[in-house]
Amino acid sequence: MSDFVRLDPVRKALLDDLDEGFAELFSAHRGLVFSTALRMSGRWADAEDLTAETFLRAYRALTGYDRERIAALQPRPWVLTILMNIWRNCARAKSRKPPPDLREEPVESVDPREGVEEAAVRRETGKELSELLGLLPDEQRAAVVLRHVVDLPVSEIAAVLQIPQGTVKSHVSRGLRRLRTLGGTR
């Protein structure tokens, strides 16, 4: 049991009580997962769906893990790996279906504490970034978002995307170069 004492709070909570530990996992990583999902999908509603599905699958997986597997778990890259797998599967499925009717675009939720000027700047910047990220190839978008939006180290990005660290660096570099080119043409 002394090995478990040195664990981060999320893993320790998961080992102590799976349900309470999962609540801790959710609280610790929901913002990260949602932010990543939003940058990957480009749509608020899609990001909410991706986030919900990520945590649903995470909980289901945890119920089948033994104590040793939970103790060895790296929560942040683990939930992001789940998210990226769901996102890839959704992107694949969408490419096989005709595009949806966008005449009734959902209204973005607004934070009532935020001033009008801040909301306008945030929305415009976020919209422009989402559009530019959406123009990148999937592997470059994923690497750039995880590195520069989520601020993960290259080693964790490699674990999340299941590719070598050198490939991560290459995707980030090419993605940033392309973003600079695309941003300059607008």
List, run by run, the mean pLDDT of 10-residue segments along the chain (186 residues).
65 95 96 94 93 97 96 95 95 73 49 54 62 90 92 94 96 94 75
Q: Does the reported pTM lie above 0.75?
A: yes
In a domain, 186, yes or no: yes
Q: Which domain holds residue 24?
A: 1-95
Query: What's CA 78's distance to the chain center, in Å?
Result: 11
Distance CA 176, CA 157 (A): 16
Q: Are residues 78 and 5 in the same domain?
A: yes
Distance CA 101, CA 84 (A): 26
Tell me the DSSP string of 115-144: -HHHHHHHHHHHHHHHHHHHTS-HHHHHHH
In a domain, 137, yes or no: yes
Q: Are residues 131 and 76 in the same domain?
A: no
Please tell me the predicted confidence (pLDDT) of residue 131.
Answer: 85
112 backbone dihedrals φ, ψ, rounded to 5°: -65, -20
